[in-house]
Structure 1
Amino acid sequence: MIANSVNTNAGAMIALQNLNQTNSELQQTQGRINTGKKIGTAKDNGAIWAIAENQSAIANSLNAVRDSLQRGQSTIDVGLAAGDTVVDLLNKMKEKALAAADTSITTASRTTLAADFASLRDQITKAVSNAKFSGANIIDGSVTSMSFLSNDSGDPFTVSARNLSLAGLNISASATFASASEASGMISIVTTALSDATDKLASLGTNSAGLDAHLTFVGKLQDSLDAGVGNLVDADLAKESARLTALQTKQQLGTQALSIANQAPQSVLSLFG
């Protein structure tokens, strides 16, 4: 290497290289602080970026799964609420039929009880037909099952429907009584329907609990995926802040070193003084 040259300043070149490296590292650190990510593009780390993007895609697709499961949850909840009403109406129907089976009451009283019985019967139909959520009804007998999304692959979570309509409970749409003996026969029909309704509601409730548990799981899975992606790409801002301070100091020193190196050729002038 030429020790004293006005054409080549090796010291200045080295100082400039070091300063450029420091500036590059400083720019990278500032970018991490601005975005909050240590890996923001494939250029930063292609393999890790690809993994993070794939996991983020799964986590985002689970939003659709949660929406579907929540829709199913609401559909079943509406059905269960209507089912409770049906059970209450059946209990009242049994009470009316039992009262009408008493041979000591008058025909007029029995007629009034029969009218009340028919009104309660019709209310069951109204309750069941109105048990809809977003157009879906799980207790009117229109479907045998309903399927909702269970994962990001589109696999179904299937819930069996339960028919709580009059037909589903084996009660005639015109069921009534006109005599004590007919009222006694209706007691047996309503009692059987009541048992059937409670069994169907219990089964529907079990399905609802399973759907609720799966919805909770999907929420936890989504949180875990988000946390995992964060571990892969998020920057440690405390660490980056300390590094920023160090690089800014290094940048100032590099600038001074380059200035000193640029002054070296001037010392040659002293040889010609």
Structure 2
Amino acid sequence: MPNSVNTNVGAMVALQNLNSTNSELMQVQNRINTGKKVASAKDNGAIWAIAQNQRSTSNSLNAVKDSLQRSQSTVDVAVAGGESVSDLLLQMKEKALAASDSSLDSASRTALNEDFKSLRDQIGKAVTNATFNGINMIKSGGATIAALADADGTSKLTVAAQDLSLGGGNVTVASTDSIGTQTLAQNMITTVSTSISNVSTALSKLGTGAKSLNSHLSFVGKLQDSIDAGVGNLVDADLAKESARLTSLQTKQQLGVQALSIANSSSSSLLSLFR
């Protein structure tokens, strides 16, 4: 290779190597700063696209969890209201049984009847107040819950409403029923017993629905954690490895600067030929 003051091939090669080292060093520093080996599409387009799609799924699962939690709270309130109705029916049966005694005097029968009607009216209040977020599952024409079950919104987890209102399909005690006479009290025992059985069945369905919502919520949480871990495996940088590489590249950079300096000084050595 001829010696020339116009073209310094050694300096050009040294500069190319130094630029390459600087580029790698910048990449490593960016990974350390962000904690990611794929922080944008230009780092690795295919991996970035896969990770972005998985992030979309994970973010969508937040909406699924919110829907399941709201539904769970709605069902819990409905169950609490239903349990109150069941407890009130148990007390009403006790009053009806006591009022069926033919030996009762008028004052006692009247007192029992007043207690019965008070308990009956409390059922109506319990049903009306069993509302969460504007949704009541146990009133007449109550709302059926249909919670989101997947990230696409194509699957729903349904919990059917249960009518526990007075005079409805489950509570057969009417809003005007009383135990003012022995005959009414005797008949009411059967009516209340049937209502107790119906309400127990309805509460069983609500309880099963609440358990399903809780189980699916737990599953969705684990699924989201798995997806997030998978995204991390795709894009997160190994900081221990990057730290070791940073030290290596910094040393390489210093050597490159020195090599470029040596290559640049080679031209000046030609002057000695003309002395």
TM-score when normalising by structure 2: 0.96
Equivalent-residue separation in structure 1 for 2:145 and 2:102 (angstroms) = 47
Query: What letter is aligned with 2:160?
Result: S
Match of 1:207 in 2: 209
Match of 2:227 in 1: 225
For 1:229-249, what per-residue CA distance to the aligned partner results, in whole angstroms no more than 9, with x for missing partners?
Answer: 111111111111111111111
Match of 2:36 in 1: 37
Query: What letter is aligned with 1:50?
Result: A
Moved more, 206-215 or 113-122: 206-215
Q: How many residues align?
A: 272
Query: What letter is aligned with 1:132?
Result: T
Query: What letter is aligned with 2:96?
Result: A
Once the two structures are TM-superposed, the CA of residue 144 in structure 1 deviates from its matched residue by 5.8
Match of 2:95 in 1: 96
Contact 1:141 1:161 in 2 (8 A): no
Equivalent-residue separation in structure 1 for 2:36 and 2:143 (angstroms) = 49
Contact 1:80 1:204 in 2 (8 A): yes
Runs of 4+ in structure 1 deviating by more than 4 angstroms, as ranges, are none
**Pairing 1:128-207 to 2, within 5 Å after superposition:** 128-143=127-142, 145-155=144-154, 156-168=156-168, 169-207=171-209
Contact 2:172 2:195 in 1 (8 A): yes
Once the two structures are TM-superposed, the CA of residue 122 in structure 1 deviates from its matched residue by 0.5
Contact 1:162 1:200 in 2 (8 A): yes
Secondary structure at the counterpart of residue 158 of structure 1: strand
Secondary structure at the counterpart of residue 167 of structure 1: coil
Please list every run of 5 or more consecutive structure 2 residues that lacks an aligned counterpart in the other structure.
Answer: none
**Pairing 1:3-82 to 2, within 5 Å after superposition:** 4-82=3-81
Secondary structure at the counterpart of residue 131 of structure 2: coil
Equivalent-residue separation in structure 2 for 1:231 and 1:250 (angstroms) = 29
Residue 111 of structure 2 corresponds to residue 112 of structure 1: yes
Secondary structure at the counterpart of residue 56 of structure 1: helix
CA RMSD, Structure 1 to Structure 2 (Å)? 1.0
Once the two structures are TM-superposed, the CA of residue 35 in structure 1 deviates from its matched residue by 0.8
Identity of aligned residues (%): 61
For 1:100-150, what per-residue CA distance to the aligned partner results, in whole angstroms no more than 9, with x for missing partners?
Answer: 111222111010000000000000010011101100011113236221111
Match of 2:253 in 1: 251
Once the two structures are TM-superposed, the CA of residue 5 in structure 1 deviates from its matched residue by 1.5
Please list every run of 5 or more consecutive structure 1 residues that lacks an aligned counterpart in the other structure.
Answer: none
Equivalent-residue separation in structure 2 for 1:152 and 1:67 (angstroms) = 12
Contact 1:32 1:240 in 2 (8 A): yes
